[in-house]
Amino acid sequence: MGDHRGAPGPRHRRSADHALRNPPVRGGLPDPIVRRDGRARPRGTRHLLDLRTRTPREGTRLTSGSLPPRFDPGAFERRWQEAWDRANLGRAPDRPKGTTFTVVLPPPNVTGDLHLGHILGYTITDLLIRRARMAGLATLWLPGIDHAGLATQVAVRSYLAKQGIRLEEMSRGQVIARVEDWKRDHERRILAALRAGGFSLDWSRYRYTMDPAYERATRRAFVALHQAGLVYRGERFVNWDPVLQTAVSDLEVEHAEEPSTLLYLRYRWADGSPGGLVVATVRPETIFGDVAVAVHPDDGRHATAVGRKVRVPLVDREVPVIADAGVDPTFGNGALKITPRHDLLDHEIFQRHPDLPMPPDVIDATGRLDSDWVPHRFRGQDREDARKSVTEALRSGGFVDHEAPYVHAVGRSERSDAVIEPRLSTQWFVRMVPMVPPVVEAVRSGDIRLYPGRWELTFYRWMEKVQDWCISRQVAWGHPIPVYYCSACLHETAAEEPPTECPECGHTPLKPDPDVLDTWFSSWLWPFATLGWPDDTPDLAHYFPTTVLVTGRDIMFFWVARMMMSSYFFQGRPPFRSVLFHGILRDEQGRKLSKHLGNAPDPMDLLRQRGADALRFAVLFPNPVDQDGCFSPASMDNARNFLTKVWNLVRFAQAHLPDGTDPPDRAPALTADSPLENRWILARWRRTVDDFEQAIAGFEVTRAAGLLHSFLWYDFADRYVEVSKEALSGRRGEPLRHETRAVLLFTLERALRLLHSIVPHVTEELWHAIPHRGELLAHAPWPRADEAPDDPEAVVAMEVVYDAIRTLRSLRAENRLAPTSLPPAWVRPSGEETAEVLRAQKSLVLEQARVGALNFLAGDAPPPAGSAPSVTPHGEFFLALPSERSRAERQALERERDKLTGLLARAEQRLADPGFRHRAPPEVLKASEEKARDLAERIRRIQEHLAADAPAGTG
């Protein structure tokens, strides 16, 4: 690989060879919009899924090193991905020296394709990873995929169902073969998307939750927990999915309010006396499994009923009325039918009354009524149908006292949407409670930090009431539970490798457990199993604990919390130092992006049409990633516009940097003669780096992106580039031209380095178009703030200058002066400092405000005749007008006066308050007084100007 290290330089890039290897994007059509004709272009017609991909104009890309005016991601993204691959960019060192920076990729499920939420998480991570790598840390970003047991089997199941194939009718082996086909297909697509996104992962360490080594880690974990008594098998109530016919964990059940009917059923007295006990239920179909009716012991209404017997409707079976404190006397009539096999609470009550008989299941694993206790006519009916027919039978039998609409929480299976059936069954569980304390302590003490911090509260709450975790699943796709049963002595053996004989009695062969493990039972080992655990590998020693986990907060409990538990149990250490939770992306109407709603753009389409960089920038900015942000066509346009801006900045620089310009190894040394703009842009750059680093330290990635956006666009492009054109032209002398070129190049090159962490391809392409040192931007050193000097004076002075420029430009526009005219202007500065700055930077104001002269008025000089005034905090400005004052100008003055009057009123009110004068800090008081004086003075001057030509008035 060594001989291919060199990245393609500009020469390589321009070769026709490359143009051929990167043909125009598929489906590209010529752009029908006339580009240079602003008038013909329809306004506001932009679409996210704009399929009119631009065909690169022949010739533009291949001509003499100059970049076309717009960038075409299709022309270079692939090429740089390949260059990074050749340079082994993502490859982490085997023997790292110094600080390491490790992230494990939350492994995408092979269930389906990547969605925008993945792209968001990966973009954030790649930002952190590229930055760490450029900063010289030993950086590992470990990729992988998750077999996603149940979820994938369900996906395959519905895929097959569309072809009329029923998964239930296939053998276990056939199911696995089908799912493996599916997995291969989706793995390929996921990996293609990860590459297309430009994510700098270490592919040499790629892992899959079902590769043999990972399976071994999963078995080791199970056996170790089994030995520790933290994994056990038992008959307990579980959430049963009757469609998929498997148990699922509490987390896989989604609760929602659903309308139903509450039936008040009359259970007649067994002794034949009139009346009976009225029992309320929403599940009449379970009455066949009743073994008692319970009332609260303190419920006076039913005191005499306790101890008597009632008959279960429709079957006439006699059951006792019992008293139990578990009954909620406020529900229905306060009488509860006890169906111990189909309701958790009923089961608890049942257990406190040992004399009650244990009934059979009256609902089977498929959700149908079945058992000797069920009358023949109802057997085989599905729960929903049975509810209707049983209700009907109860009504016609006169058992329904009354009925009422009722809304109650119904649990549905996350995967099949089937209503969960509480079912007593024998399953494997993990005891969670003993695993909680070190995790809670880690978060409390800050050993693991959650970002944003507000999630801590939610995290603790869940931890406090965590329940045992049901980990066995009755499906084919997953890690087999490594337990083997002896048919002779009934001993169960948990072992990493199948034992040949029963360790208790020597019996052979042993029967393996038929179930598989919950997919999260392998995922919760991800941060260390991927690094080689259970072996004592160098990677584990070097790269664990990992640095940060970046993930959606929807899997906080499924995954993040459980990883912490497993890590403290198996490693005695946290799995990561920080967790960054990002939000869920929504569309413009605030809906979750989902395939089902059809509002989820496929990231691959966006990647192909708009490029990885635009997509990456769009998910980070402008909507904050830590909230449930909105992803809209506008964000994509915004990103594209910004990248075009950066692209053109480089084109500008290219045009002004002569061949042979030195690479910007350090910030240019400024002299006492250096112009304000050069001092200012370097100071602004320094502050931008500082702010960027501060934002990243708190994982505020949207703010970080925004800082670069506003620096490059508003400071660098709108101000610095405009201001420096004069110097770059050479009209202000060669020494200044030389210095300005150096400042321009330094600032732009450094900004590309920071920006590279977010939009790697376009920055890499641009970096190679300007003087630089090194083979790849991806390997360039991370900029440091202290490379450039701070210069607070320059920052303040530039603000004063630009206030003046804005004021004069505004006067021009309001008075509709011709763009070419160069009217003279006057200023009466409000203070000596302002006066000094404006005097020193006069030429800058003349140029940027397009005025012919800037004259300074003494404090008492009258306003120049025939001029438009504007009164600002920095002074009074006047612009010469060709004729009398315009109506627009008068209105602007009046508006300004009214606004200032309002402000003054507020300021005076504050100053009139004795409390304020006594309690406010002196500097605040002083500032307020100055402000009020300043406002009053400016209002006075505006009034003068208005009065000066009031009679004319007509403009």
Partner RNA sequence: GGGCUCGUAGUCCAGCGGUGAAGACGUCGCUCUCACACAGCGAAGACCGCCGGUUCGAAUCCGGCCGAGCCCA
Binding to RNA (CB under 7 A) within 706-765 occurs at: 710, 713, 717-718, 721-722, 725
- Shortest distance (Å) from residue 658 CB to RNA: 15
Answer yes or no whether residue 919 interacts with RNA by CB under 7 A: yes
Indicate the residue among 31 and 168 with the shorter CB distance to RNA: 31
Handedness of CA 354, 359, 364, 367 (dihedral sign): negative
- Residue located via tokens 């927990």: 225
Give the separation between CA 451 and CA 458, rounded to whole angstroms. 12
Answer yes or no whether residue 915 interacts with RNA by CB under 7 A: yes
Cis before 658? omega within 30: no
Give the separation between CA 476 and CA 183, rounded to whole angstroms. 14
- Shortest distance (Å) from residue 39 CB to RNA: 6
Binding mask 619-658 for RNA (x = CB under 7 A): ---xxx--xxxx---x--xx-xx--xx--xx-xx--x---
* Amino acid in the structure at residue 698: G
User: Are the C-beta atoms of residues 194 and 122 closer than 8 Å to each other?
Assistant: yes
Give the separation between CA 51 and CA 19, rounded to whole angstroms. 22
Residues 395-434 that bind RNA (CB under 7 A): 409
Tell me which of 255, 731, 773, 940 binds RNA, using CB under 7 A.
255
- Shortest distance (Å) from residue 939 CB to RNA: 10
Residues 211-250 that bind RNA (CB under 7 A): 250
- Shortest distance (Å) from residue 534 CB to RNA: 31
Residues 808-847 that bind RNA (CB under 7 A): 809-810, 812-814, 816, 819
Indicate the residue among 27 and 873 with the shorter CB distance to RNA: 873
Helix (H) or strand (E) holding 484, with range, is strand 483-485
CA distances from 81 to 153, 612, 652, 779 (A): 33, 11, 26, 14
Q: Contact region for RNA (CB under 7 A) — 573-581, 664-672, 858-866, 907-915?
A: 907-915
Tell me which of 43, 95, 97, 162 binds RNA, using CB under 7 A.
43
- Residue located via tokens 């007008």: 881
Indicate the residue among 60 and 638 with the shorter CB distance to RNA: 638
Indicate the residue among 87 and 712 with the shorter CB distance to RNA: 712
Residues 862-881 that bind RNA (CB under 7 A): 872-873
Helices of type H across 465-611 = 519-523, 526-529, 538-543, 562-570, 603-610
- Shortest distance (Å) from residue 562 CB to RNA: 13
The pair of three-digit structure tokens given for residue 773, joined into one six-digit string: 């040192």
User: Are the C-beta atoms of residues 935 and 907 closer than 8 Å to each other?
Assistant: yes
Residues 56-95 that bind RNA (CB under 7 A): 69-70
Residues 774-813 that bind RNA (CB under 7 A): 805-806, 809-810, 812-813
- Shortest distance (Å) from residue 919 CB to RNA: 3
CA distances from 467 to 250, 484, 558 (A): 8, 26, 13
Give the separation between CA 116 and CA 584, rounded to whole angstroms. 9
Tell me which of 11, 26, 36, 162 binds RNA, using CB under 7 A.
36
Indicate the residue among 225 and 805 with the shorter CB distance to RNA: 805
The three-state secondary structure class of 412 is: strand
Tell me which of 488, 927, 950, 952 binds RNA, using CB under 7 A.
927
Residues 527-566 that bind RNA (CB under 7 A): 554, 557
**Residue 557: CA count within 13 A, CB half-sphere:** 18
Indicate the residue among 458 and 599 with the shorter CB distance to RNA: 458
Binding mask 457-496 for RNA (x = CB under 7 A): xx--xx--x-x-----------------------------
Give the separation between CA 846 and CA 726, rounded to whole angstroms. 12
Indicate the residue among 219 and 850 with the shorter CB distance to RNA: 850
Tell me which of 401, 587, 896, 944 binds RNA, using CB under 7 A.
896
Q: 618 CB contacts (<8 Å, ≥6 apart)? A: 631, 635, 636, 638, 639
Residues 173-202 that bind RNA (CB under 7 A): none
Give the separation between CA 604 and CA 582, rounded to whole angstroms. 21
Q: How many amino acids of this chain bind RNA (CB under 7 A)?
A: 86
- Shortest distance (Å) from residue 872 CB to RNA: 6
Indicate the residue among 37 and 316 with the shorter CB distance to RNA: 37
Helix (H) or strand (E) holding 256, with range, is strand 253-269
Cα 531 to the center of its chain, rounded Å: 26
Tell me which of 3, 17, 58, 257 binds RNA, using CB under 7 A.
257
The single-letter DSSP state of residue 74 is G
Strand order in the sheet with 449-451: 449-451, 576-582, 546-552
- Shortest distance (Å) from residue 631 CB to RNA: 10
The three-state secondary structure class of 632 is: coil
Tell me which of 38, 229, 572, 792 binds RNA, using CB under 7 A.
38
Indicate the residue among 325 and 505 with the shorter CB distance to RNA: 325
Indicate the residue among 229 and 819 with the shorter CB distance to RNA: 819
Indicate the residue among 613 and 739 with the shorter CB distance to RNA: 613
- Shortest distance (Å) from residue 414 CB to RNA: 9
User: Are the C-beta atoms of residues 438 and 568 closer than 8 Å to each other?
Assistant: yes
3-state secondary structure 822-888: CCEEEEEECCHHHHHHHHHCHHHHHHHHCCCEEEECCCCCCCCCCEEEEEECCEEEEEECCCCCCHH
Residues 310-349 that bind RNA (CB under 7 A): none
**Residue 618: CA count within 13 A, CB half-sphere:** 27
Q: Pairing state of beta strands 292-295 and 309-311?
A: unpaired
Handedness of CA 79, 82, 88, 92 (dihedral sign): positive
Residues 348-377 that bind RNA (CB under 7 A): none
Helix (H) or strand (E) holding 235, with range, is strand 231-241
Q: Contact region for RNA (CB under 7 A) — 35-43, 201-209, 508-516, 537-545?
A: 35-43
Indicate the residue among 224 and 925 with the shorter CB distance to RNA: 925
Tell me which of 188, 352, 731, 899 binds RNA, using CB under 7 A.
899
Tell me which of 596, 918, 922, 951 binds RNA, using CB under 7 A.
918
The three-state secondary structure class of 247 is: strand
Kindly report the backbone phi and psi dihedral angles of residue 318, in degrees, each rounded to the nearest multiple of 5, phi listed first. -85, 130
The three-state secondary structure class of 905 is: helix
- Shortest distance (Å) from residue 583 CB to RNA: 9
Q: Contact region for RNA (CB under 7 A) — 168-176, 201-209, 283-291, 916-924?
A: 916-924
Intra-chain end-to-end CA distance of the chain, in Å? 77
Q: Among 722, 888, 900, which residue's Cα sits nearest to residue 805?
A: 722
Indicate the residue among 366 and 901 with the shorter CB distance to RNA: 901
Indicate the residue among 51 and 924 with the shorter CB distance to RNA: 924
Dihedral through CA 153, CA 155, CA 160, CA 163, nearest 10? Answer: 170
Give the separation between CA 390 and CA 629, rounded to whole angstroms. 48
Residues 577-606 that bind RNA (CB under 7 A): 588, 590, 592
- Shortest distance (Å) from residue 937 CB to RNA: 11
Q: Contact region for RNA (CB under 7 A) — 135-143, 147-155, 456-464, 765-773?
A: 456-464
Residues 109-168 that bind RNA (CB under 7 A): none
Beta strands in 474-600, from DSSP E residues, in sequence order: 483-485, 492-494, 511-512, 516-517, 546-552, 576-582
Indicate the residue among 264 and 652 with the shorter CB distance to RNA: 652
Answer yes or no whether residue 941 interacts with RNA by CB under 7 A: no
Indicate the residue among 38 and 598 with the shorter CB distance to RNA: 38
Indicate the residue among 252 and 539 with the shorter CB distance to RNA: 252
Indicate the residue among 364 and 637 with the shorter CB distance to RNA: 637
